[in-house]
């Protein structure tokens, strides 16, 4: 079954907005992670502030060919097809042992005016994956970044507590990777 790309506020997406205290943490530069376990489906959110204008963050997140250079676990990425505001992207991820490599072809739907890139998996070796990036200006030189992922990674033999532990370790690296990319520390 193919589902539409996730969108912020979609009633089918389980996401937890940051609390007022967490918004203050994000404004200070902290990274906030939310992990909702509805085994076997996981709903993951990571929030962080990027000290750069919206345009620079957008450019980093839409550098689909270079995800392997700055996003955690990505070992290969590339554009398969571009048609208007939809980009079909191949991504291969290598989690640590004992997990096997995951690959997927996602349809990314860009909406720069809204600051969103929503995707759904078209093909791959996960049962299900969809999510979105959301970029919101926090002023002229600061952007709030949200990465949301809903996934059934086909990890039935891995205890849910271990999946949660691992994602809480990896998700902050998504924000850190975009920060590095924006600052020019990583070049594709």
Query: DSSP readout, 132-173?
Result: EEEEEESSTT-EEEEEEEEEE---TTS-HHHHHHHHHHHHHH
Query: Would you state the pLDDT for residue 3?
Result: 41
User: Is 13's pLDDT higher than 60?
Assistant: no
Q: Is residue 6 part of a domain?
A: no
**117 and 111 Cβ atoms separated by less than 8 Å:** yes
- How many domains is the chain built from? 1
Helices (H) and strands (E) in the chain, counts: 4, 8
Q: Does 9 reside within a domain? A: no
- Helices 160-183 and 54-61: crossing angle in degrees, nearest 10, is 120
Q: Is residue 93 part of a domain?
A: yes
Q: Which residue has the higher pLDDT, 168 or 180?
A: 180
Q: Residue 95 — pLDDT band, cuts 50, 70, 90? A: confident
What does the pLDDT average to over 136-144?
Answer: 95
The better pLDDT of the pair 127, 91 is held by 91
**Residue 11 forms part of a structural domain:** no
The pLDDT tens digits of the residues spanning 36-86 come to 766 667 788 999 999 999 999 999 999 999 999 999 999 999 999 999 999
Q: Is the separation of the CB atoms in 149 and 133 below 8 Å?
A: no
pLDDT score of 10 more than 70: no
Comparison of pLDDT for 140 and 42, the residue scoring more: 140
- CATH number of the domain encompassing residue 101: 3.30.530.20
Asked if residue 13 belongs to a domain, the reply is no
For residue 47, CA distances in Å to 35, 107, 172 come to: 12, 23, 8
- Structure token digits, residue 86: 């939809």
Q: What is the mean pLDDT of residues 132-141?
A: 94
Q: Report yes or no on 167 lying in a domain.
A: yes
Q: Which of 23-27, 42-46, 94-98 has the highest mean pLDDT?
A: 23-27
**Domain annotation covers residue 1:** no
Q: What is the pTM of this model?
A: 0.87
Instruction: Say what the pLDDT of residue 152 is.
Output: 79
Q: Which of the four pLDDT bands, split at 50, 70 and 90, describes residue 180?
A: very high
Range of the domain at 67: 20-183
Q: Among 12-16, 105-109, 170-174, whose mean pLDDT is lowest?
A: 12-16
- State how far the Cα of 25 lies from the Cα of 15, in Å rounded to an integer: 18
84-88-93 Cα angle (round to 5): 150
Length of the chain in residues, anyone?
A: 188
Taking 90 as the threshold, does the pLDDT of residue 173 lie above it? Answer: yes
- Tokens for 155? 């990890």
- Reply yes or no: is the peptide bond before residue 40 cis, omega within 30 of 0: yes
CA atoms within 13 A on the CB side of 48: 20
Q: By the 8 A CB rule, do 132 and 108 touch?
A: no
Residue 7 lies in a domain: no
């Amino acid at each position: 079954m193919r589902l539409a790309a996730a969108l912020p506020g979609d009633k089918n997406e389980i996401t937890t907005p940051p609390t007022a205290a967490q918004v203050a943490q994000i404004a200070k530069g902290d990274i906030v992670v939310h992990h909702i376990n509805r085994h076997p489906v996981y709903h993951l959110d990571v929030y962080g502030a990027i000290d750069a204008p919206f345009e620079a963050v957008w450019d980093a997140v839409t550098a689909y060919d270079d995800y392997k250079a700055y996003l955690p676990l990505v070992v290969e990425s590339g554009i398969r097809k571009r048609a208007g505001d939809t980009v079909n992207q191949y991504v291969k991820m290598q989690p640590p042992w004992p997990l096997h490599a995951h690959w997927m072809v996602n349809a990314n739907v860009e909406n720069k005016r809204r600051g969103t890139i929503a995707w759904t998996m078209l093909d791959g070796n996960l049962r299900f994956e969809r999510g979105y990036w959301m970029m919101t200006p926090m002023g002229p030189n600061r952007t709030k970044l949200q990465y949301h992922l809903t996934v059934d990674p086909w990890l039935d033999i891995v205890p849910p507590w271990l999946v949660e532990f691992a994602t809480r370790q990896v998700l902050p690296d998504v924000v850190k990777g975009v920060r590095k990319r924006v600052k020019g520390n990583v070049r594709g």
